Amino acid sequence: MLRINVIVDEVNDLKSDRNVCMITFHGDAESEYFKGKILPGGVDTQRSVEGGMLLSARYMLEGIDMNGKPAKLFIENEGISRQGEDIVTKPVFITDDADLKWLETASLKGYITGTKDGVLIEID
């Protein structure tokens, strides 16, 4: 399981008949196969849709793989947040690391829970 600790930097809201929120963030990630930090530029876009909010986050992690080699991971994480339901996402990975290439074709799910400073994303 990849655990990504997201810390919110800035929130920009647009209030209308369809609300939009853009959230920039930083943080770190850890698992048995990768450890690293979120690079600058991570953003989560939240847009109101019928019945909830469409979530679309894009960010890049830089760190080391399980063999101690430098590695980068790009993650695109999308889902829908509905009142009273758990937030489950479908992440897409791209990596420059041969030992982590399996993430690009794996069928993974992300689970999001709130924290004091942002959210915890657990992907497995």
* Per-residue pLDDT reduced to its tens digit, 31-81: 999 999 999 999 999 999 988 999 999 999 999 999 999 999 999 999 999
Q: What is the DSSP string of 15-52?
A: -SSS-EEEEEEEEEEE-SSEEEEEPTTEEEEEEEETTE
> pLDDT class for 91, splitting at 50, 70, 90?
very high
Which residues is 77 bridged to in the sheet?
57, 91
For the chain, the structural domain boundaries read 2-123
- What's the whole-model pTM score? 0.93
More confident residue, 84 or 6: 6
Architecture of domain 2-123: Beta Barrel (2.40)
Alpha-carbon dihedral of residues 111, 114, 116, 121, nearest 10 degrees? Answer: 20
Structure confidence by residue, pLDDT tens digits, 15-33: 999 999 999 999 999 999 9
pLDDT for 83: 85
Residues 94-122 pLDDT 10s: 999 999 999 999 999 999 999 999 999 99
- On whether the CB atoms of residues 74 and 95 are closer than 8 A, the answer is yes
pLDDT for residue 84 = 85
Instruction: Answer whether 65's CB lies under 8 Å from 28's CB.
Output: no
Dist CA 37 CA 57 (whole Å): 16
Q: 28: burial class by Cβ within 10 Å (0-12, 13-18, 19+)?
A: middle
Residues 71/63, Cβ–Cβ less than 8 Å: yes
> Quick check: 3 pLDDT over 90?
yes
DSSP helix/strand/coil, 124: coil
pLDDT of residue 88: 93
